[in-house]
Structure formats: structure tokens, C-alpha cells
Homo-oligomer: A and B are copies of this chain.
Amino acid sequence: MAEKPSGSRDDARSVALLWNTRERARRGPRPALSWERIVAAAIALADAEGLEAVSMERVAERLGFTTMSLYRHVPGKAELVALMIEAAIGEPPALAAPERWRSALEEWAANLLGTFQRHPWALTATGRLRLMGPYELGWLETGLSALSATPLDPAERHAACLAVLAQVRSIAQFSLAPPKGSPGLTGERWNAETRALLRVRAERFPELTAALDALRLRDRPPAPGSGLGFVLDGIARRVAQRGARAPAGRPRR
């Protein structure tokens, strides 16, 4: 069967892999390969040449095994990608104490952005709704606990985290350097090419032209007036509101 890039019947299998530690086989030859090595090779490949370069064949080649040998350790490509995501994300970071929720969230966002910058393919790979592994959910947990000392209720904390995550994804898309093989666009290049398109039609797109001309690609993410700044300010406002009235949800720690 051909690739099913966003198939997700495999999600079930992926989940089993991500959450179950399977014990070593008791019989048979000792494995020369392991899914850990496969995943590492696949990640190295994806880092270097992008997710499209990751084929079972090329991963196997890197490892010096045949294509089909991979299937002894990984059920299929979809599951491999799921494992790659988990491995690339890794252990969630330690954040500032939740009393300073804002800097904790900023740290969280910065760490997340760092991950996306180290592994640009992860942005695409995580682009669809799918079941997650322990690391990935651990990141979410960490993000949420950055808000645990605020009077926000759990649903609001969740919304806040997802909002920050969405901003990080948006920032990442512009600031990622696409790998050599795939001539993906840089943010700079997108900007330049789009301005070129608009140059002839500046009257039809006055606001956009102005925006692209003024675009500050250099601004560090949580700068005021940036997307992340807006989100954090919005959260702050809600925190202030909630704090003024009765604290909602569980009491603050």
C-alpha cells in the first residue's frame, strides 16, 4: 500500500508503542537493530534533509540494514514518525516557579520554539490532531503547571497553553530554516517574494504592503506587540480579572 500521510487508524498502534514498554524477546537471535536506533537515524535524516527525505529505504540505508528489517522493530512508517516526534520533543523542561507564571510560560514557549528549530520537520509532523506520547503530554502538563498558581480555572489554563503553543507554531513557521534538500521557504524569502508579487499591485493591498515593509523578523518572540506578547497580555488580563473576584477552580497553591 502506498503512504497514508495522515492516516490515523495507526494511531492505536502508535499509542501502544509510545506508552507500552515492550520487554525483550526471550528467544531468537539477539537483535542487531532496535527501534531506538531506527528512530535516531530517522531523526538525523529528517533534521538534515527534511521529513520528505525520510523513507524506510533511506533510514535503513543509513543504518546499513535492508528496508524490510525496520519492520521487525517498527510497525510502519506512521508509527515511526510518531516515535520520532516523541524522541525529538523529549523530556519537558524545568520552568520557573509557578508564582511567576508569565516568565514560566515564556520559558516554556522558548523551549518549544527551540525544539522546533532543532527539528524543523516536527512542525509539519505535529500538524494534525493525533494521540500523543508521554513526553508530549508531559510538555502540556508542564505548560499547564506554569499556570497552577494563577486563579485561572483548568479550562482557561488549557486554553492559555494551547494559545501559546499556537503562537509558537506560527513563529516557528516563519523562523525555520528549511533543510537543504527541500527548497522550502525561509521567512525572509517568503517576505521578499511576496513583496515582489505585491509591488505591482500595491493599491490593491495597501495594508499588507505596509505590513510586509515594516515586518520585524528580528523581534524576539515575547516582545510586546508580537503575537506571543498579545497572548500573554490577554492571559494576564484574565488572571487579573479572576484574581479580583473569587478565585476560580482549585484554590491557588
Q: Which residues of A contact B (CB under 8 A)?
A: 3-9, 11, 15, 19, 50-52, 124, 127-132, 137-138, 140-141, 144-145, 148, 152-163, 165-167, 169-170, 173-174, 176, 182-185, 187, 190, 193-194, 197-198, 204-208, 210-216, 224-227, 229-235, 237-238, 249-250
Q: Are A144 and B197 in contact (CB under 8 A)?
A: no
* Complex CA–CA separation, A173 to B166 (angstroms): 11
Q: Label chain A's interface by main secondary structure.
A: helix
Chain B residues contacting A185 (CB-CB under 8 Å) are 8, 11, 129-131
CB of A160, distance to nearest CB on chain B (Å): 6
* Complex CA–CA separation, A221 to B193 (angstroms): 33
CB of A197, distance to nearest CB on chain B (Å): 7
Q: Are B148 and A230 in contact (CB under 8 A)?
A: no
CB of A142, distance to nearest CB on chain B (Å): 9
